[in-house]
């Protein structure tokens, strides 16, 4: 075992003494040493229930014959960080988390890991760390939040009950008293926010990737089932250590293609583009944005979950969750039969899955014809950009509008709040990319305000930043090259026409090449917004979004 490096032989007498100081018995000194990388924090709703899950995982590890050690990693709540400078730290925290996992497991020569995660950047960060280490590992995602209820309005979510509710209040649809009541009832329990936003999308994809036990992604954070899954994961990691089953045995090109197909079929967050590419990079797996583009032309969506419909993760779980999606896709010969950390194969999971076909139908019986996500190319994004097709009304698949440009999210929000945005406008938010932001902030606040104001079908928003998984509407993100790198988005002027065409997967700035060349000659060089600290280091080393914003 790898832990023999810190506990075997006469020379390791000091090490054993220190381990005994932590409470390790002489008998358990020979047991596999399993780390529990916990992202528990009182600051993040998705993580506040993790102390109980830590206990369950620990019980499972000890019941399986292992020795458990808990250590912490950071966690950022994107909802709390949204709409201000704090959001610049969200995406960079993915790499910070990977570094923490790698550091703790390597410094202490752990034999295996349970990675206790939930929210947006934590899960991909832990997957990246697991691949770097390549020691047996299982991800336990803490699960979704219960649905909110207010004044008889059921299935209230963090987005509909707060972000979009602000727009409804400003429009005069609801009173201030009603807004306050929605605020108090939109997030009624521990757990990841209720829709197929980034946290739950990444949990679902991690399960399909084979790195979590079945139903882990959708079992409620406050359910007994979640606690049982945590316990079983603790038991199973000891088995993986004994059998030497490592992340690179599970995360292969075939399993990653399964992951991409699932993302397209469930219409998850556009952030999955960034995270999938970064995970592939960590595992030396040949996956590019072109794989997304190719598959998005072949795969159609089978289920829509909030924000693309009124269904929540509670409904998704009750309909069969990822095993039901696995059954739909596997029966349609769309998935490779790879193995998972549970010991089951994809075929095994599909065969035993419960499926409520009214919510998660058979693939060929789906009412949808498009993938849930798409990649657009054109003179405005020669290296690509992304759109959540599932969040766009069919009547808006082709949209042409007039540009209104803003060099920060704050400027765009100010214009929205002052009613300076009107039907037919294309809001352009630039200098918010990985380098320019720095940190590639999410634009949930402006997109939610657009929808709340009733402009979700008559305005578009494009950015070199990114979107929350909770975003819906005609919203195009990850525009590459970004403005800070001299991308065409930096050359747009107010009044320019922009055309977004989902059927042809294109995005065009309707300005001549000659005019753009003239504008480029007078474009001022980009000046960094942050010149010291973690964000400055990040900005100096981060790649573009089309390569996963990899450091």
Residue numbers annotated as active site: 468
Contacts of residue 27, defined as CB under 8 A and 6 or more positions apart, other chains included, come to none
What token pair was written down for 503? 């059927």
Helices (H), 332-401: 346-352
Which residue, among 330, 371, 306, has the nearest Cα to 157 in the 3D structure?
Answer: 306
Residue 534: helix, strand or coil by DSSP? helix
CA angle (263, 488, 124) in 5-degree steps: 30
Residue 266: how many other CB atoms lie within 10 Å: 28
The conformation of residue 162, written as its DSSP 8-state character, comes to I
Residue 234: helix, strand or coil by DSSP? helix
Rounded Cα–Cα distance for residues 370 and 298 (Å) = 9
Q: What is the dihedral of CA 483, 489, 493, 497, to 10 degrees?
A: -170
Annotate 237-266 with DSSP letters as a single string.
HHHHHHHT--HHHHS-HHHHHHHHHHHHHH
Largest Cα separation within the chain, whole Å, is: 77
Rounded Cα–Cα distance for residues 388 and 397 (Å) = 11
Q: Please say whether the beta carbons of 224 and 96 come within 8 A.
A: no
* Burial label, 177 (beta-carbon count in 10 A; 0-12, 13-18, 19+): exposed
CA angle (275, 278, 280) in 5-degree steps: 110
What token pair was written down for 22? 């932590």
Rounded Cα–Cα distance for residues 142 and 236 (Å) = 17
Which residue, among 297, 472, 460, has the nearest Cα to 370 in the 3D structure?
Answer: 297
Q: Please say whether the beta carbons of 245 and 340 come within 8 A.
A: no
Three-state secondary structure readout of 450-508: HHHCCCCCCCEEEECCECCCCCCCEEEECCCCCHHHCCHHHHCCCCCEEEEECCCCEEE
């Amino acid at each position: 075992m790898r832990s023999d490096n810190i506990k075997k032989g006469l020379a390791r007498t000091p090490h054993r003494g220190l381990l005994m100081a932590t409470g390790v018995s002489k008998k358990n000194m020979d047991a596999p040493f399993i780390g529990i990388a916990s992202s528990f924090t009182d600051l993040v709703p998705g993580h506040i229930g993790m102390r109980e899950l830590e206990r369950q995982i620990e019980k499972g590890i000890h019941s399986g014959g292992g020795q458990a050690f808990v250590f912490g990693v950071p966690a950022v709540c994107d909802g709390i960080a949204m709409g201000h400078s704090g959001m610049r730290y969200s995406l960079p925290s993915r790499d910070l988390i990977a570094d923490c996992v790698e550091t703790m497991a390597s410094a202490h020569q752990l034999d295996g890991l349970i990675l206790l995660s939930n929210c947006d950047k934590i899960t991909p960060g832990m997957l990246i760390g697991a691949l770097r280490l390549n020691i047996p590992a299982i991800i336990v995602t803490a699960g979704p939040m219960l649905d909110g209820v207010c004044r008889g309005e059921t299935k209230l979510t963090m987005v509909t009950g707060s972000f979009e509710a602000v727009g409804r209040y400003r429009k005069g649809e609801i009173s201030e008293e009603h807004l306050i009541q929605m605020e108090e009832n939109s997030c009624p329990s521990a757990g990841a926010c209720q829709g197929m936003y980034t946290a739950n999308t990444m949990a679902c994809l991690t399960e399909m990737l084979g790195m979590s036990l079945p139903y882990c992604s959708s079992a409620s954070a406050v359910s007994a089932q979640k606690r049982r899954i945590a316990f079983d994961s603790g038991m199973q990691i000891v088995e993986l250590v004994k059998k030497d089953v490592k992340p690179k045995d599970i995360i292969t090109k075939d399993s990653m293609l399964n992951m991409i197909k699932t993302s397209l079929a469930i219409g998850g967050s556009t952030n999955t583009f960034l995270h999938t590419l970064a995970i592939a990079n960590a595992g030396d797996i040949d996956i590019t944005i072109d794989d997304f583009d190719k598959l998005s032309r072949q795969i159609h969506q089978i289920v829509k979950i909030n924000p693309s419909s009124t269904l929540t993760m509670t409904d998704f779980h009750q309909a069969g969750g990822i095993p039901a999606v696995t059954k739909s896709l596997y029966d349609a010969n769309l998935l490779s039969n790879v193995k998972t950390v549970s010991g089951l194969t994809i075929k095994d999971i599909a065969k035993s899955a419960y499926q409520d076909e009214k919510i998660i139908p058979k693939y060929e019986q789906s009412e949808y014809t498009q993938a849930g996500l798409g990649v657009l190319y054109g003179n405005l994004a020669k290296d690509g950009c992304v759109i959540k097709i599932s969040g766009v009304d069919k009547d808006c698949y082709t949209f042409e509008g007039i540009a209104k440009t803003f060099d920060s999210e704050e400027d765009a929000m100010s214009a929205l709040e002052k009613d300076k945005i009107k039907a037919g406008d294309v809001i352009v938010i630039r200098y918010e990319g990985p380098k320019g932001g720095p940190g590639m902030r999410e634009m949930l606040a402006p997109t939610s305000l657009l929808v709340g104001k009733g402009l979700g079908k008559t305005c578009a928003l494009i950015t070199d930043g990114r979107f929350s998984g909770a975003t819906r509407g005609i919203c195009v993100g990850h525009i590459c090259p970004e403005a800070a790198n001299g991308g065409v988005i930096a050359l747009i002027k107010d009044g320019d026409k922009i055309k977004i065409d989902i059927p042809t997967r294109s995005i065009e700035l309707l300005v001549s090449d000659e005019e753009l060349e003239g504008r480029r000659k007078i474009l001022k060089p980009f000046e960094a917004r942050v010149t010291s600290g973690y964000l400055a280091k990040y900005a100096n080393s981060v790649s573009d979004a089309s390569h996963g914003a990899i450091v």
